[in-house]
Structures are given as C-alpha cells and as structure tokens.
Amino acid sequence: DAEITQSPRHKITETGRQVTLACHQTWNHNNMFWYRQDLGHGLRLIHYSYGVHDTNKGEVSDGYSVSRSNTEDLPLTLESAASSQTSVYFCASSEEPGVMNTEAFFGQGTRLTVV
C-alpha cells in the first residue's frame, strides 16, 4: 500500500543546532507539504512543493528550508533550531498537480523539542 512516512517520530535537540526531518511518500504525488501543529493554532503551512525542484514558502517559513530533488522526498531543515520551533511537524502529499485544496494524505508526525 502507498504511504507517507516521517522520521524520526520524536527528536530532542539543542538550541542553535541544525535539524533535518525526513518525509518520504510512495503515492507518487507531485504535491508535498510541511505543516506545524501547535495548540490553539491548528495546522500552519511551512513550505510546499508542486514538483521536483519546485519549492514555495508558506505562512510560517522563517527559519526553515526544504529541497525537492525527487518525487518521493521533501526533507525539512531547521537551520538553527530555536525554542519557538518546538512543535509537532506533519508532512503531507496530494495528487492533483499544482493545486492546494485536494485531499491531503498525512504522515504520522514528528514531535520536535528544542531545549
């Protein structure tokens, strides 16, 4: 079965360190998204990609970067982790090329704590 997997599931890191969260999907979807989920804020879009070598900033992109070198993977990098980036991070993918509002398939999330 096709799926979307995130790793690690849990991560504790120190302030100032670079951290990379992995996201791998086997749906062969063009669209991939990174969200963070915080209490009271719902899901907030960090970065998204509509295809290989395409990346776009979302609502809360400061301090984060992504790269898309193939269809399956969209790693999220925190350049210099800050305590404000403690959150649960979700990766998602969707099928219909170049549009935002079709069904999204989510990974199980990565809980990141910055100490």
Partner 1 sequence: TQLLEQSPQFLSIQEGENLTVYCNSSSVFSSLQWYRQEPGEGPVLLVTVVTGGEVKKLKRLTFQFGDARKDSSLHITAAQPGDTGLYLCAGGSNYQLIWGAGTKLIIKP
Q: Which is nearer to partner 1, 64 or 90 (CB)?
A: 90
Q: Which is nearer to partner 1, 14 or 98 (CB)?
A: 98
Q: How crowded is the C-beta side of 83, counted as CA atoms within 13 Å?
A: 1
- By CB under 8 A, the residues from 64 to 103 that bind partner 1 are 90, 92, 98-101, 103
3-state secondary structure 18-40: CEEEEEEECCCCCEEEEEEEECC
# chain residues binding partner 1, by CB under 8 A: 18
Q: Which is nearer to partner 1, 54 or 79 (CB)?
A: 54
16: region left, alpha or beta (phi > 0 left; psi from -120 to 50 alpha):
left
> At closest approach, how far in Å is the CB of 75 from partner 1?
17
d(CA 19, CA 63): 11
Decide if residue 107 touches partner 1 (CB under 8 A). Answer: yes
Per DSSP bridges, beta strands 110-114 and 87-94 are antiparallel
Q: Which is nearer to partner 1, 19 or 104 (CB)?
A: 104
Decide if residue 57 touches partner 1 (CB under 8 A). Answer: no
